[in-house]
Structure 1
């Protein structure tokens, strides 16, 4: 064993970013395995590596006993005391058993084992690096596609974008650079596996954090996100400071901030609404851009009945019920939308509310 091996381990450690102690442990394990295999030894052995001299030694570890039954594992007290008069029964002694040609045999046998351990250690480094990126946004380049996944290069590893995590109707071309949301990082027998998404609501939330400084520094808080990827999303925001406009902060000057996110999501419409602890206000805001006359709240069922002007009914419900569905997801409240005339027929509107809606129809135009 020459110092060249230790030089190679040092270079490998720096190149792969692997702790040298891990490599030395792998090498020791490989040498022990090689010794037992090539010299048909069942004894308990230890390998000592001396980085300063570049040498190695193999020691057989045996238990001191009165009467030897297994020479591979035991040594008599008489023999042990020849080595050291202070030895007692049950002591462990070590005897060097390094074969003359062990260096050549061990190097050959150890190569495959060390390579495997290096691979495992390298995978561990990658896993440790990426496991902290769960629920975060990363930028990658599309490398290839198959029938199940789109593979996105994130630098040290390829991540998998499943069909169910893609934005409907979005084109994914080889070499395209895209932002993705890391949903899960797993350490498998085949190495780290990273699963990503373009449709997850978390992507929208993280994009706002990246684009809006007030969200990043905590001045504005994202309370909830509801998303139908590729089509439309709603996001509710809140600011503790009454002087801060949370919706305006997200929209940005001339809509620049929200437009940057819309562009990244290939035209997905985004409604930004103000959160409120009052469910009447919150549900009303969530149904934007529709106008609302009244919100009736059933706390026990966590359900609301929302009354809107007749001409706003289709807008409130949205195409294929999308606006109402997203508002319900955003607020966590069930939402039943009724037109003003329907509510009047069912006697839901009070006389005061009825009079108010009749006298102020222009308010909703």
Structure 2
């Protein structure tokens, strides 16, 4: 039976194992199950549990067995090759998405710089680097105007299950955005020498921030305002003044 081209198969498997961090044995097992499923399409009356597939990890040659008897049909190699490629590509995509989501999970509660990509109904899709974030209406500032390619800071609010898997929810209305901007613009807040005790915010209108420091010589309010108001003005500018 024709085998999957070694160079193509080995290259794809090597990419999955080394570049994507996926266990090749998991990929091979998934491919075997997919090959049996492909065989079943042409033989719908078989008892699947009685059939198995073997796959040579070096040559990529696939065979179908029924109770240890080789029942591989002529010309099945091409079907097996296509099935293997589809499974490997799917595993690569799944692993990439999983890695991206894992990266952003540890960053929930922080701010990132983003850019408005498109509008999806009432939602705004924001490019946040390796992924896209969704900003639903409740996370938008009511009187803030958004446009394509607009650059803005957003708060990584949560990751939740959506129609197409896990979705990253970002916010412009959260008090977390204001606290994150304080940490970015005020070193004393980032270092912990000035503590943000409370934030009360009417997104798009006004905000009140209570700050505190138990370290002598540090003026918590002055630290946040900055010389000639430069720090607080940088935060205000993020909200378009």
Structure 2 counterpart of 1:261: 235
> Among residues 199, 212, 215, which one is paired with 1:238 in the alignment?
212
Q: Does 1:49 align with 2:55?
A: yes
Deviation digits for residues 87-126 of structure 1 (CA, Å, limit 9, x no counterpart): xxxxxxxx36262543223234455555545443433233
Shift of 1:198: 0.8
Contact 2:212/2:220 (<8 A) preserved: yes
- Normalising by structure 2, what TM-score? 0.82
Relative to structure 1, the CA distance from residue 173 to residue 14 in structure 2 (aligned partners, 3 Å threshold; closer, same or farther) is: farther
Structure 2 counterpart of 1:175: 149
Give the stretch that moved more between structures: 210-219 or 27-36: 27-36
Relative to structure 1, the CA distance from residue 116 to residue 19 in structure 2 (aligned partners, 3 Å threshold; closer, same or farther) is: closer
Shift of 1:35: 3.4
Shift of 1:130: 2.1
Shift of 1:146: 4.5
* CA–CA distance in structure 2, aligned partners of residues 225 and 141 of structure 1: 26
> Among residues 110, 124, 127, which one is paired with 2:101 in the alignment?
127
| Gapped regions of structure 1 (runs ≥ 5) | 63-94, 268-365
* CA–CA distance in structure 2, aligned partners of residues 12 and 210 of structure 1: 38
Structure 1 counterpart of 2:22: 19
Q: Write the mapping of 1:114-263 to structure 2, written as runs, cut at 5 A.
A: 114-263=88-237
| Gapped regions of structure 2 (runs ≥ 5) | none
Shift of 1:143: 1.4
RMSD: 2.7
Structure 2 counterpart of 1:97: 70
Structure 2 counterpart of 1:294: none
Shift of 1:7: 0.8
- Normalising by structure 1, what TM-score? 0.56
Shift of 1:227: 0.5
Relative to structure 1, the CA distance from residue 52 to residue 147 in structure 2 (aligned partners, 3 Å threshold; closer, same or farther) is: closer
* CA–CA distance in structure 2, aligned partners of residues 47 and 266 of structure 1: 62
> Any idea what SS the aligned residue of 2:130 has?
coil
> Any idea what SS the aligned residue of 1:138 has?
strand
Relative to structure 1, the CA distance from residue 222 to residue 207 in structure 2 (aligned partners, 3 Å threshold; closer, same or farther) is: same
Contact 1:48/1:58 (<8 A) preserved: yes
Relative to structure 1, the CA distance from residue 103 to residue 252 in structure 2 (aligned partners, 3 Å threshold; closer, same or farther) is: same
* CA–CA distance in structure 1, aligned partners of residues 54 and 189 of structure 2: 56
* CA–CA distance in structure 2, aligned partners of residues 112 and 51 of structure 1: 16
* CA–CA distance in structure 2, aligned partners of residues 216 and 111 of structure 1: 48
* CA–CA distance in structure 1, aligned partners of residues 138 and 204 of structure 2: 13
Q: Write the mapping of 1:260-339 to structure 2, written as runs, cut at 5 A.
A: 260-267=234-241
Q: Does 1:10 align with 2:6?
A: no
Q: How many equivalent pairs are there?
A: 233
Highest RCO, 1 vs 2 (Cα 8 Å, sep ≥ 6): 2
Deviation digits for residues 207-247 of structure 1 (CA, Å, limit 9, x no counterpart): 11111111112222111111111221111112232332222
* CA–CA distance in structure 2, aligned partners of residues 219 and 51 of structure 1: 57
Deviation digits for residues 134-161 of structure 1 (CA, Å, limit 9, x no counterpart): 2221111111224412221123332222
Deviation digits for residues 255-302 of structure 1 (CA, Å, limit 9, x no counterpart): 2111111111222xxxxxxxxxxxxxxxxxxxxxxxxxxxxxxxxxxx
